[in-house]
Chain A
Amino acid sequence: MRIREYVWAATVGLVLADSSIVTLALPEILRQFDATVFGVSWVLTTFNIVLAAAVLPAARMARRLDARAVWAAGICVFAAASLWCALSESIGVLIAGRCVQALGGAFVVSAAIELTAGTRGSHRAAAGVWGAAGVVGLAVGPAAGGLLTELLSWEAIFVLQVPVVLALPAAFAPASRAVEAGPAGRLELAPEAALGLLSAGLTGALFLLVLLLIEGWRNTPLEAAAVVSVMPAATVGGALIVRRFGHARTVVASGAVLVGGGLAALGLLPDAAVGWTVPPQLLIGAGLALALPGLTQRALSARDPQGERAAATVAARHAGIVVGLLVLTPIFTAELDSQHEAARLSGTALLLDAPLSPGTKVDLAGEIADQIEQADGRLPELAPAFRRVEPEPGARRDLARLAQDLEEEVDKAATHAFSNAFLAAAALALAALAPILLGRRR
């Protein structure tokens, strides 16, 4: 593989990582712009909508015009929009910047597909390269974003994408050889539908899990990044299975089962500890490696011209992510409200029944109310409230026990708030089995 092919693949990976890279930064953005969960989810949603909508027309342009010029233009727009996002001072401006960024990204991805096909001789030969780059980008995105948010700030995610313009010399490579025409064939709707459904389910793993770790269980973005990096690691392991078994229909179906099963397990976590999220992530990561490349191959195999068909698989994936965000976010936000109330009532019950004096309880209730007010609609930190209360003699152990019980109620509420959304994501991923198993045999 030549250096310029690595550069094109890296830019595809970067653009597709952008569909999930801000996931870990969303809580930070939510706080800075005083936005709602639903509002901030549009930072992800709009990017995926624009990418899904623009990638096909961009692929047509890349085929008809000079793919190198289209790629270079895409890189410039993407870098400029990244700077725009980094300098945003309101959620609306940030969302607008993300739209422009996705537009530039669509040109980058489509043209990179054409360029790689040019050096490899066919779109089919190039599919493995950009397909793998896309999967790695999508899987690594959240962890990379979390790392940057924790070490620097959410703006750093976008600032560090601006130097992508340094890749521009790759556009001045000598013209590619003629690309072989792919075989003409019927549209492969089944693998496209499966890609969309699977991607919709994966939104649960990429978006909800991160929110659970940071907003629900109060981990730092860095800790969350470390936790969710299990998924890309498992994807690498899954790739070894694919190398052994290939892209047969049963392999792809196994991948969908693993993704669905892993998401369902995330909806049934027995405790609020990060360790419980590891086995489901292993299943999802492995499932991702088994299902996505195989489905992409199937979607491409009988198409001509394949550059546009390749772009159609990118569109299907990102349309799926949009569907996932639009379906899962309302479920999760409604559950969060009801669990917030459930935690308030169960916490009040624990406080009322605690073996403490009325004076201590009244003091504690006031401190907890202050913490809830400071949390501004999110799940409160209770430990500071307990530190500020001086219990009556001999009641210190009862107070510590109450603190532990209340923290557990908050954890239970946070975890349960995500359950139905994870189960809905599992249903979306398992629904992909229908087009996989009913699609045309070849």
Chain B
Amino acid sequence: MTRSAPDTRLRPGWVLPGAAIAACVALIGAYVALGGASYEPLEVADPCDARPVEQLRRTDDVLQQLALSALDGAACSLRVTREELALALADPDGRSRFLREHRVSDAAFERAVRAALVRAVDDAERVDAISPLTASILRPAAERLPVGVVIDVLERASGRDALDLLGELFDRAP
């Protein structure tokens, strides 16, 4: 009769499963503690929440504040984010895609953006971010000119003074 060789392997018992569970819990716990559960793109702000209006001196800054404030206002009334609206306004394809996806008519879109532009001019004038003269130029433009024209002028307004802007807005009036 032959005797089989003794099995020299260790009995794992619960040491090995315990070590495996501990290693996994430690790693997952460390990753969660380091922000692994919230490592995702920034959530965009609610456009209906007020943003601080600053006292600005440079024309560029004032125009930006006006545009951003108008975007917030229009986005809030259309119940979309400011960023979605900005992308929609960036190009004609984006706008038609936006109208289709959010089931908004062209007229409602124009109305919302125009109302927001006027409100942004009013707000900026109220906190002295723009002068009454600049406000008096921008307000009728926002009320009457096509939204696309106002946005186009604002986009290219960097470094220009109020009279320059007025001239261009009159030129572009239909």
Contacts and interface: CB of A to CB of B under 8 A. Distances in A.
Interface in A340-378: 342-346, 348-350, 352-353, 357-359, 362, 365, 369
Interface residues of B, number: 50
B82 A349 contact: yes
Contact of A346 (B12, B42, B60, B86): B42
Nearest to A256: B20
B108 interface: no
Interface stretch (A9-17, A67-75, A155-163, A267-275): A267-275
Contact of A258 (B23, B36, B37): B23
A250 interface: yes
A427 B67 CA distance: 48
A366 to B, nearest CB: 9
Given A250-B14, A283-B23, A358 B63 contact: yes
The B interface, classified by DSSP as helix, strand, loop or mixed, is helix
Interface in A4-43: none
Contact of B83 (A251, A265, A279, A349): A349
A415 interface: yes
Interface in B112-146: none
Interface in A284-314: 287, 290
B81 interface: yes
A409 B156 contact: no
The A interface, classified by DSSP as helix, strand, loop or mixed, is helix
Interface string B9-53: 111111011011101110110011011110111111100000000
B40 A413 contact: yes
B31 A269 contact: yes
A416 B40 contact: yes
B149 interface: no
A56 interface: no
A269 B82 CA distance: 30
A105 interface: no
Contacts, number: 146
Contacts of B39: 268-272, 412, 415-416
Contact of B86 (A270, A283, A348): A348
A264 interface: yes
Nearest to A353: B68
A335 to B, nearest CB: 10
A348 B83 contact: yes
Contacts of A269: 31, 36, 39
A412 B64 CA distance: 28
Given A349-B82, A358-B63, A369 B90 contact: yes
A261 B36 contact: no
Contacts of B91: 369
A279 B154 CA distance: 52
Contact of B44 (A241, A255, A264, A346): A346
A413 B17 CA distance: 35
Contacts of A235: none
Interface of A: 241, 243-246, 248, 250-251, 253-255, 257-258, 260-262, 264-265, 268-272, 276, 279-280, 283, 287, 290, 339, 342-346, 348-350, 352-353, 357-359, 362, 365, 369, 409, 412-413, 415-416, 419
Interface of B: 7, 9-14, 16-17, 19-21, 23-25, 27-28, 31-32, 34-37, 39-45, 60, 63-64, 67-68, 71, 81-84, 86-87, 90-91, 154-159
20 contacts: A246-B12, A250-B16, A251-B12, A253-B17, A254-B12, A257-B17, A261-B21, A270-B35, A271-B39, A272-B39, A280-B27, A343-B41, A349-B82, A357-B60, A357-B159, A358-B67, A358-B154, A358-B157, A359-B159, A416-B40
Q: Which 8 A-B pairs have the closest CB atoms?
A: A261-B24, A268-B36, A359-B158, A270-B34, A348-B83, A254-B20, A416-B40, A346-B41
Given A250-B16, A254-B16, A271-B34, 20 more contacts: A245-B12, A246-B7, A248-B11, A254-B12, A254-B19, A261-B20, A265-B36, A269-B31, A270-B35, A280-B27, A342-B40, A342-B41, A344-B87, A352-B82, A352-B83, A357-B159, A359-B156, A362-B156, A369-B90, A412-B39
